[in-house]
Amino acid sequence: MTDPLTAGALVGLAVQKFVESSAGELAKKFTTDAIAKIPELWQKIKNKLSGKHPTVDDALVKVESGDRAAIETVSTVLGTELITDPEFANELKLLAQTIQAGKIQDNSTMTQNNSDNARGWQTKVEGGTAYIGEIHIQQGQTPNS
């Protein structure tokens, strides 16, 4: 996360426990201390947004059951709160930075041996979508008249 102050990034960090497939997956990405701070971040967000609007309250419940669509709603409302309450924004930013500091770095190496003019791609992707590779489209030749 390059900018921990964006609402989407903050909510994404705070709800990892709900959307990760297992606690083991989360433990592969963060230290124990960082994992312990994630519920604190979520609770601060939840406390700030609770009671603002029935739709938001509903979204907060759905996020905890892993509903990814509800994350969008919560992110949008949190974005407004970050703008209108700079003290709250700073509090979340500091907590998010603490969590990010506990992110486990992947320093593993990858080896690939290609021969006979073969090509290969190796990547490490953390979230998001990676578009990797090449596409070659060769047009058919028209006969000479």
Q: For residue range 40-98, what is the model confidence (pLDDT) as tens digits? A: 999 999 999 998 888 999 999 998 887 888 888 999 999 999 999 999 999 999 998 88
Distance CA 64, CA 45 (A): 12
| Rounded Cα–Cα distance for residues 75 and 60 (Å) | 10
Q: What is the pLDDT of residue 19?
A: 65
3 has a pLDDT exceeding 60: no
Give me 97's structure tokens. 């930075």
Domain boundaries, the chain: 7-101
At 79 the three-state DSSP class reads helix
d(C-alpha 26, C-alpha 142), whole Å: 56
Q: Which of 74, 33, 43 is closest to 57 using CA atoms?
A: 74
Q: At what angle do helices 54-64 and 32-49 cross, to 10 degrees?
A: 160
- The H or E element spanning position 54 is helix 54-64
Token pair in block for residue 98:
């603490």
Residue type present at position 1: M
What was the pLDDT predicted at 86?
Answer: 92
Q: If you compute the radius of gyration of the chain from its CA atoms, what whole number of angstroms results?
A: 21
pTM: predicted TM-score of the whole model, two decimal places: 0.64
- Write the pLDDT tens digit of every residue in 5-43: 688 888 888 887 776 655 566 677 788 888 888 889 999
